[in-house]
Amino acid sequence: MKKQIENRDDLKLLVRTFYDKIRADQEIGFFFNETITDWEEHLEKLTDFWEANILGTKNYNGNPITVHNAVDKKFNHQITSNLFGIWLNLWFATLDELFEGENVEILKRRAQKMSTFLIMNIFKSREHA
Contacts with ligand HEM by CB under 6 A lie at 28, 31-32, 35-36, 45-46, 49, 62, 64, 67-68, 71, 79, 83-84, 87, 111, 114-115, 118
CB atoms within 10 A of CB 68: 21
Which residue number, 84 or 99, has a Cβ lying nearer to ligand HEM? 84
CB contact at 8 A, 118 and 64? yes
Which residue number, 1 or 41, has a Cβ lying nearer to ligand HEM? 41
User: CA 29 to CA 2: how far, in whole Å?
Assistant: 28
Compute the half-sphere exposure of residue 61: CA atoms within 13 Å on the CB side of its CA: 2
Q: Which residue is nearest to ligand HEM (CB)?
A: 62
Please, what is the minimum distance in Å from the beta carbon of residue 17 to ligand HEM? 16
Please, what is the minimum distance in Å from the beta carbon of residue 1 to ligand HEM? 27
Give the list of residues 6+ apart from residue 30 with CB closer than 8 angstroms, or none.
Answer: none
Give the list of residues 6+ apart from residue 18 with CB closer than 8 angstroms, or none.
Answer: 90, 91, 94
Please, what is the minimum distance in Å from the beta carbon of residue 4 to ligand HEM? 20
Please, what is the minimum distance in Å from the beta carbon of residue 80 to ligand HEM? 8
